[in-house]
Amino acid sequence: MSSATAIAPNYELIQQDGLETSLLEVSMGPHHPSTHGVFRMDVKLDGETVVDLQPVFGYLHRNHEKLAENMSYLGSMPFTDRLDYFNSMTNNWAYALAAEKLVEIEVPERADYLRVIMAELTRLVNHVSLVGFFINDLGALGTPLLYAFREREKILDLFEQASGARMMCNYFRFGGLRNDVPEGWLDRARDVVDHFPVFLDEYEQLLCENEIILSRTQGVGCLSRDLAISAGITGPMLRASGVNYDIRKVDKYSIYDRFQFRVPYTDGNVGDCYDRFMVRMLEMRESIRILKQALDGIGDGPVLGNAPKVFKPKPAEVYGRVEAPKGELGFYLIADGTPKPYRYRVRPPSLINLTVLRDMCLGQKVADAVIILGSIDIVLGEVDR
Amino acid sequence: MTTENLNAGMDLDDNTRSELERAGVIVSQVDSLYNWARGGSVWPLTFGLACCAIEMIASATSRFDISRFGSEVFRPTPRQADLMIVSGTVTKKMAPQVVRIYNQMPEPKWVIAMGACAISGGPFKQGYNVLKGIDRYIPVDVYLPGCPPRPEAVLQSLNYLQEKIRTQDIKSDPAFTKGRRQYPVPEFTGKDLEPPYNPEVWQPPANPNDKPLEKATA
């Protein structure tokens, strides 16, 4: 038996089966291949079991909110791209929605259809990449991620044709879109959407009943329905815990009331990593349904209403929110009569979904903590802002 | 790379060289052979900071396929990597970690500053928390502009780096003469990074307004 002095001062000794052992503290990150960016977890381990976990973030804090408070309303549109850098289109949309509420701008119908198409394509990009990274965290290095990125490239091509940029699209404007899509774009989009289910079939066949994935994810990182609701979790993670809540259905913002689609959610008995993975797989199918209806229903017309580029809204406060692929993304603006917002606040789904990480990881193995983090689907640009 | 590159720099006349090549003999300098081998197998570090990291990953996937240039072996540990792609915004909280990781990499090592943020702070330069260029602390070999740069641009920057590697002289290059280059790790004091830059690799540009006043008075 070693004396207590031989052990580093911060380690506490615990008695187990008559043996004195010490807890192991591991600092995972910020440079760690599986932490999805510059995120750090300070983990206390008893053997391999997590007994305490402290998330540390702020390594990518880029002063998004303060920068936005020092420029015109339209000026911070490109910065919203860089919040959740997988989903620039939905970030744009949430911000445009908030500002449109503030100055009461009407959006033309064609622009609304194109917004829905862009947002659902973004959802496909996000979920397909997330599943790739998630399986990557499980240890299947390569194949699923490469398949996912192959499909992602096809959708990014569409974004590039429409907006000129692959990732940072900066495509939305207050009152519509920056420009109309080029000729033939809708046909190409239809082609991509029609072929996507073929890939999804292959992907599901490969992953959904894979024995290793089942045994690694089932019963791991359970999130109860009550905790999910009280912690303010949104998005696929909330639906995997058995709550039927989707802002597309609740708010019916834009023209989502025109489309037939279902919201996949579980019965809420388990809420483990596998549920979260499956909810996303099913959501992609529903996105394709919306996309098909939107591509059929879109008509001709202008894509940008009469919105001034610089405006001075009357003093007011607004909150605009959309169902981003990761959850409820909201922008809260306070106007004080100047061309700049007095307060600009982002409600990031990634950060709020991350708050239950500790509850889900306690008692799990350290290797599972990695995949629990993967199943939350965080992007550090949004967590730290 | 063909044998032409390997034979480069040798004082052989063309007849002798072609005769030797016909006999299956390649005569080369150690430098050329060494640089040819290293340039064709640059192992990058799996190191993503922000948005640019996604494009870096995309450059490794099927469509762009960085392995055509011998760099598909992304290593998660700095001790096995040759190339650090600083992909994204370096904040003041993250800068000490970036320098520490650089210090852990063995020689020879190279750095690509990917994206506007890593070069100069980019769109977030006005912020209080963003480092205005990683070249203030570690030497950067290739600057890759863009926000984010396209995967093709990542491949092009790799080609530029390979060109640079090809011209390295083993006898005089700091990578081989100085041992493992390690730079002081800055400390975040709550207000700013201390020291504010590493004078070995970066000096603040001279202020054009600070000219001596002799001419004006004369």
- Give the per-residue pLDDT at B38: 87
Residue A46 located in a structural domain: no
d(CA A221, CA A375): 9
B30 and B127 in a common domain = no
Residue A328 located in a structural domain: yes
B83-135: pLDDT as tens digits:
999 988 999 888 998 999 999 999 889 999 999 999 998 888 888 888 888 98
B56 and B96 in a common domain = yes
d(CA A370, CA A357): 10
d(CA A350, CA A127): 14
Q: Residue B172 gets which letter from DSSP?
A: T
What is the torsional sign of CA A246, A252, A253, A257?
positive
Residue B187 located in a structural domain: no
Provide the residue range defining the domain that includes B111: 51-166
B69 and B161 in a common domain = yes
- Give the per-residue pLDDT at A4: 41
B97 and B34 in a common domain = no
CATH number (domain holding residue A274): 1.10.645.10
B73 contacts chain A (CB < 8 A): no
B27 and B102 in a common domain = no
- Give the per-residue pLDDT at B6: 56
Element (H, E) at A167: none
Cβ of A61 within 8 Å of Cβ of B129? The answer is yes
Residue B192 located in a structural domain: no
Give ipTM to 2 decimals. Answer: 0.84
Determine phi and psi for B122, rounding to 5 degrees. Answer: 55, -145
CATH number (domain holding residue B158): 3.40.50.12280
| Strand partners for A304 | A176
**To which residue do tokens 């932490």 refer?**
A35
- Give the per-residue pLDDT at A296: 92
B160 and B103 in a common domain = yes
- Give the per-residue pLDDT at A48: 86
Closest Cβ opposite residue A58 in set B47, B57, B93: B93
Residue B152 located in a structural domain: yes
Chain A: closest CA distance from residue B130 (Å): 6
- Provide the token pair at B165: 């590697």
Residue A262 located in a structural domain: yes
Number of domains in chain B: 2
Closest Cβ opposite residue B51 in set A58, A85, A150: A85
B75 and B11 in a common domain = no
Chain B: closest CA distance from residue A84 (Å): 8
- Give the per-residue pLDDT at A6: 45
Chain B: closest CA distance from residue A140 (Å): 15
- Contacts with A30 from chain B: Cβ below 8 Å: 94, 97
Nearest C-alpha in A relative to B63 = A150
- Give the per-residue pLDDT at B143: 93
- Give the per-residue pLDDT at B196: 81
What is the torsional sign of CA A160, A163, A164, A168?
negative
Name the E strands within chain B.
83-87, 110-114, 142-144, 187-188, 193-194
Mean pLDDT value across chain B: 84
Which residue in B93, B56, B50, B86 sits closest to B72, CA to CA?
A: B56
B160 and B56 in a common domain = yes
Q: How many residues does chain A have?
A: 385
Cβ of A167 within 8 Å of Cβ of B46? The answer is no
Residue B131 located in a structural domain: yes
Q: How far is CA A248 from CA A255, A262, A289, A353, B196, in A?
A: 9, 10, 14, 19, 48
Provide the residue range defining the domain that includes A83: 64-380
Element (H, E) at A25: strand A24-28
Q: What is the DSSP string of A212-260?
A: HHHHHHTTSS---HHHHHHTT--THHHHHTT----HHHHT--TTGGGS-
B19 and B62 in a common domain = no
d(CA A268, CA A242): 4
Cβ of B55 within 8 Å of Cβ of A167? The answer is yes
Closest Cβ opposite residue A67 in set B47, B93, B124: B124
Residue pLDDT tens, chain A, 385 long: 344 444 455 556 666 677 777 788 888 878 876 667 788 888 988 888 888 888 888 888 988 999 999 988 888 899 999 888 889 999 999 999 999 888 888 889 999 999 999 999 999 999 999 998 888 888 887 788 889 999 999 999 999 999 988 889 999 988 889 889 999 999 999 999 999 999 999 999 988 888 989 998 988 888 999 999 999 999 999 999 999 999 998 988 889 999 999 999 988 888 889 999 999 999 999 999 999 999 999 988 888 887 777 888 889 999 999 999 999 999 999 998 888 999 999 999 999 999 999 889 888 888 888 889 889 888 888 888 8
Closest Cβ opposite residue B51 in set A30, A38, A167: A167
- Give the per-residue pLDDT at B212: 67
B162 and B102 in a common domain = yes
d(CA A246, CA A323): 7
d(CA B50, CA B122): 12
Residue B7 located in a structural domain: yes
Q: How far is CA A93 from CA A108, A111, A116, A191, in A?
A: 14, 11, 10, 24
- Provide the token pair at B2: 């063909």
Name the E strands within A270-383.
316-324, 327-335, 341-347
**To which residue do tokens 């959309």 refer?**
A322
Residue A216 located in a structural domain: yes
Residue A55 located in a structural domain: no
Residue A232 located in a structural domain: yes
Residue A143 located in a structural domain: yes
Number of domains in chain A: 1
Grouping H, G, I as helix, E, B as strand and the rest as coil, residue A193 is: helix
| Strand partners for A13 | A22
Which residue in A76, A31, A4, A91 sits closest to A330, CA to CA?
A: A91
Residue B208 located in a structural domain: no
| Strand partners for B113 | B86, B143
B128 and B80 in a common domain = yes
Q: State which residues of chain B have pLDDT below 50.
A: 1-3
- Give the per-residue pLDDT at A15: 67
d(CA B84, CA B109): 8
CB-facing half-sphere around the CA of B61: CA atoms within 13 A? 23
Neighbours of A215 (CB within 10 A): 11
Residue B141 located in a structural domain: yes
Residue A16 located in a structural domain: no
B56 and B120 in a common domain = yes
- Give the per-residue pLDDT at A5: 42
